Amino acid sequence: MKKSLGPNTLAQPAPVWAVGSYDEEGKPNAMIAAWGGICGSDPACLTVSVRPGRHTFAGIMKHRAFTVSVCPAPLAAEADYLGMVSGKKTDKFADTGLTPVKSDCVNAPYVDEFPLIIECELRETVDLGVHVMFVGEIRDVKCDEDKLVDGKHPDPEKILPLIFSPGTRAYHTVGQQVAKGFDAGRKYLKKD
Amino acid sequence: MKKSLGPNTLAQPAPVWAVGSYDEEGKPNAMIAAWGGICGSDPACLTVSVRPGRHTFAGIMKHRAFTVSVCPAPLAAEADYLGMVSGKKTDKFADTGLTPVKSDCVNAPYVDEFPLIIECELRETVDLGVHVMFVGEIRDVKCDEDKLVDGKHPDPEKILPLIFSPGTRAYHTVGQQVAKGFDAGRKYLKKD
């Protein structure tokens, strides 16, 4: 029996992405976004949504660039902190010991300790009420070499990306592989 | 050491969402989208990206509505099949035994066997090259009652949402809880 929960944001899974940008003074900053996802294959692009009052917002608007550093389970406390305080008031990199690295292809910093990085130029903004959705065009993806399969595919069981559960507000990580995509469904293909 | 992988869609985690719509003839259809995410809190909204050639595309454009049924790990084969064939050629609900249910608030069907449903009206479309991004305004969320915490929060450990890994093309599900959000980071808060 399904229960109606009203018009809210209880979709699953949500990512836990550190959105890196330089602020208006050029200081590296990062905030956590759970509202985001891939949105296109060619050009490769993704969305992250940010409230206009956030420190990150002005930085992205000024520099027209941001990074996404995928937060790994072993650094959940550091990731969580990036979502608790504002870069207006403190240097979150210094507070946590995380290391900002300037991207070699967009004008934004990423988190060196996080295993998987997506570097984006700002392509467009979409006003959606309390959030503005940034559409970023992906210029490069970088991954720790020891977390790749076949030297090119990021392995979720090594990256251990955090997954946010809106509602319970819990962080989980990925579990075991359940099936292969474009394979498990073959049993329903008609043989004729 | 980080390795450059080029401009592609290797972000993690990606959802496995069955996008439900009526086609131009009113037949219920569902396709799998991994390109999507929540994009705003007020109004609650989410994105899913669909190629214009897809059967689902014309249906959403005609009816200005769609649903997202969150695919659960025990139904990975059924979910995968929804992404393997076109609703132009077959009735994917009949093929898999899944049950289309008409939403009570938007003009689109959802998958009854999937535990968590998000019902959306089409708010806007954003052309992003090979994909068009649909922004849906969420009208209701429905969840199986036995998969709620405190009667209102969908429990990821019961819903077991599939998680797609671009690159390895594997489906995983959520693992154990790693930390509580807005809590794990407190250790870095300054005490003064």
CB-closest option in B164, B178, B190 to A162:
B178
In angstroms, the separation between the Cα of residue B23 and the nearest Cα of chain A is: 21
For residue B116, list chain A residues with Cβ-Cβ distance below 8 A: 10-12
Do the chains contact at B175 and A177, CB–CB below 8 Å?
A: no
Under the banding of pLDDT at 50, 70 and 90, the label for residue A191 is low
Under the banding of pLDDT at 50, 70 and 90, the label for residue B192 is low
Tell me the count of A-B CB pairs closer than 8 A: 398
Long-range residue pairs from B62-65, CB within 8 A, at least 24 positions apart, any chain: B62/B22, B62/B24, B63/B21, B63/B22, B63/B107, B63/B108, B64/B107, B64/B121, B64/B122, B65/B21, B65/B103, B65/B106, B65/B107, B65/B108, B65/B119, B65/B120, B65/B121, B65/B122
For residue A79, list chain B residues with Cβ-Cβ distance below 8 A: 184-185
For residue A126, list chain B residues with Cβ-Cβ distance below 8 A: 39, 124, 126, 135
The arithmetic mean of pLDDT across residues B137-148, rounded, is 98
**pLDDT of A190:** 79
Three-class DSSP category at A17: strand
Could you read off the pLDDT of A88-121 as tens digits, one per residue? 999 999 999 999 999 999 999 999 999 999 999 9
Do the chains contact at A68 and B11, CB–CB below 8 Å?
A: yes
Q: Report strand pairing: B100-102 vs B116-128.
A: unpaired
Question: Is there a contact between B171 and B16 (Cβ–Cβ < 8 Å)?
Answer: yes
The pair of structure tokens assigned to B192 is: 């003064």
Whole-angstrom distance, CA of residue B39 vs CA of residue B106: 19
Which residue is closest to B121 within chain A, CA to CA? A7
- B 31-90 residues with CB below 8 A of A? 34-47, 49, 68, 70, 73, 76-85, 90
Could you read off the pLDDT of A5-62 as tens digits, one per residue? 999 999 999 999 999 999 999 999 999 999 999 999 999 999 999 999 999 999 999 9
Could you read off the pLDDT of B52-93 as tens digits, one per residue? 999 999 999 999 999 999 999 999 999 999 999 999 999 999
The pair of structure tokens assigned to A136 is: 């970023």
Please give the mean pLDDT across all residues of chain B. Answer: 97
Question: Is there a contact between B158 and B147 (Cβ–Cβ < 8 Å)?
Answer: yes
Instruction: List B46's β-bridge partners, or say none.
Output: B38, B136
For residue A47, list chain B residues with Cβ-Cβ distance below 8 A: 37, 39, 47, 133
Question: Is there a contact between A75 and A32 (Cβ–Cβ < 8 Å)?
Answer: no
CB of A136 within 8 Å of any CB in chain B?
A: no
Containing A40, the helix (H) or strand (E) segment is strand A36-41
Whole-angstrom distance, CA of residue A56 vs CA of residue A127: 16
The arithmetic mean of pLDDT across residues A156-182, rounded, is 96
Could you read off the pLDDT of A49-68 as tens digits, one per residue? 999 999 999 999 999 999 99
Tokens 């319970």 identify what position?
A168
Under the banding of pLDDT at 50, 70 and 90, the label for residue B191 is low
**pLDDT of B190:** 79
Instruction: Flag whether the pTM goes above 0.90.
Output: yes
CB of B147 within 8 Å of any CB in chain A?
A: no
The pair of structure tokens assigned to A86 is: 């504002």
Which residue is closest to B74 within chain A, CA to CA? A178
CB of A191 within 8 Å of any CB in chain B?
A: no
Do the chains contact at B156 and A138, CB–CB below 8 Å?
A: no
For residue B142, list chain A residues with Cβ-Cβ distance below 8 A: 2-5
Three-class DSSP category at A73: helix
In angstroms, the separation between the Cα of residue B89 and the nearest Cα of chain A is: 11
The arithmetic mean of pLDDT across residues A120-140, rounded, is 98
Do the chains contact at A13 and B174, CB–CB below 8 Å?
A: yes
Give the residue among A62, A70, A58 at the shortest CA–CA distance from A141. Answer: A70
Over 70: is that where the pLDDT of B3 sits? yes
**pLDDT of A59:** 98
The arithmetic mean of pLDDT across residues B84-109, rounded, is 97
How many angstroms separate the Cα of A92 from the Cα of each of A115, B27, B83?
18, 52, 41
For residue B13, list chain A residues with Cβ-Cβ distance below 8 A: 13, 15, 156, 161, 163, 174
Could you read off the pLDDT of B4-60 as tens digits, one per residue? 999 999 999 999 999 999 999 999 999 999 999 999 999 999 999 999 999 999 999
Question: Is there a contact between B134 and B125 (Cβ–Cβ < 8 Å)?
Answer: yes
For residue B95, list chain A residues with Cβ-Cβ distance below 8 A: 188, 190
Give the residue among B65, B158, B58, B77 at the shortest CA–CA distance from B118. Answer: B65
**pLDDT of B52:** 98
